[in-house]
Amino acid sequence: MLRIDVSARRPPLPAPARNRPAGWGCVAAAVFATWLPAVGCAPPGGIRITPVPVDQSLEETEVYRDDGWVTDKIALIDLDGVLVNDTPSGLFESGEHPVSFLVEKLRAAEADATVKAVVLRINSPGGTVTASDLMHHELLAFRERTGKPVVAFLMDVAASGGYYVACSANVILACPTTVTGSIGVIMQTVEVTGTLEKLGVTTDAITTGPHKDSGSPLRKMRPEERTLFQNLINQMYERFIKIVREGRPLLSEAKIRTLADGRVYLAPLALEAGLIDGIAPFEDAIATARTLAKSHRVRVVRYHRPLGWQPTWYAGSPVPPAEAAAASWVARAARLFTSGPTFLYLWRIGM
């Protein structure tokens, strides 16, 4: 167990009012609110209108402050959900481009001289190979440019690509119940020839080479194609091993390879294996960042879009209804697995 003196810890305080005013579309909202009931579209109980700021630049909210005179800050950055190099869109999903959003927050932390360290809170089963690699690269580049330490704190799940990104941090801490590991690569494909036969449907492809349609769901995979894909998977796996080796220098390559068979580990086993540095409550992640930054008193701040006010460091984005969340995952999984072969650093039960 990694234990650090956190005697200066205090309960999180409500965040102060924002310093930067936002431009609001109040006139349009007022007109819309007046017009809608008149045409008979208002539901029982009325309509709630939420003006949206024109300027969507990141804002900063303080979620914790030590007692006394405080100037130094620790930036708390969350990394949630499936890591893709794409902007979610569709009937049940909308949101930020995960890679771009992370870079935007890192730039804000870099530009602020009073930010002395970053706590990266990860709750992700991983995602695509490239998205995971880009995030890892951006965090290492941030550390190199600024000299500011990064502490990774693993939440419910930080597996596969989530763990890949964590390896960019100076220190990795986890909750006692965190699931992590799953070091490996998967390429998931589908094959629907049996269904097409029952429907009386035949398909054909005209290509410029024998491997142009490799991985097509419309025919069975040939042995030589499987060999080609396996070679690609092996190369990506070797890069994962390299990333873990660089991020966990106390682990030998041989040891990493014994751990990297795709399985996940509960935090105590991950600690015993050397995949993480400690099991601790979240306050210790802040205390560790404070120690690495050599700051005696700190403020903890978060970056968010306007209207995304967070009262404490445990607060997060509004959680959608279970049905919408499930539909969002189905939609994203459908894109990953039906748009063609996709290379993934991803852990998902039953996949």
- Taking alpha carbons only, the member of 79, 66, 78 closest to residue 293 is 66
Residues near 49 by beta carbon (within 8 Å), at least 6 away in sequence: 29, 32, 33
Q: Which of 73, 116, 124, 160 is catalytic?
A: 160
Per the structure block, which two tokens stand in for 18? 């924002």
Question: Which tokens in the block code for residue 62?
Answer: 């303080």
CA dihedral over 64, 68, 71, 72, signed as positive or negative: negative
197 token code pair: 């036969």
Tokens representing 301 are 């701040």
Distance (Å, rounded) from C-alpha 128 to C-alpha 133? 9
d(CA 258, CA 254): 6
Q: Which of 212, 220, 242, 294 is catalytic?
A: 212
Phi and psi for 124 in degrees, rounded to 5?
-150, 140
Q: Is 160 a catalytic residue?
A: yes
Burial of 19 (0-12, 13-18, 19+ CB in 10 A): exposed
- 85 close to 128: Cβ distance less than 8 angstroms: yes
Q: Which structure tokens are listed for 224?
A: 């030589």
Helix (H) or strand (E) holding 127: strand 126-128
Active centre residues (catalytic):
160, 212
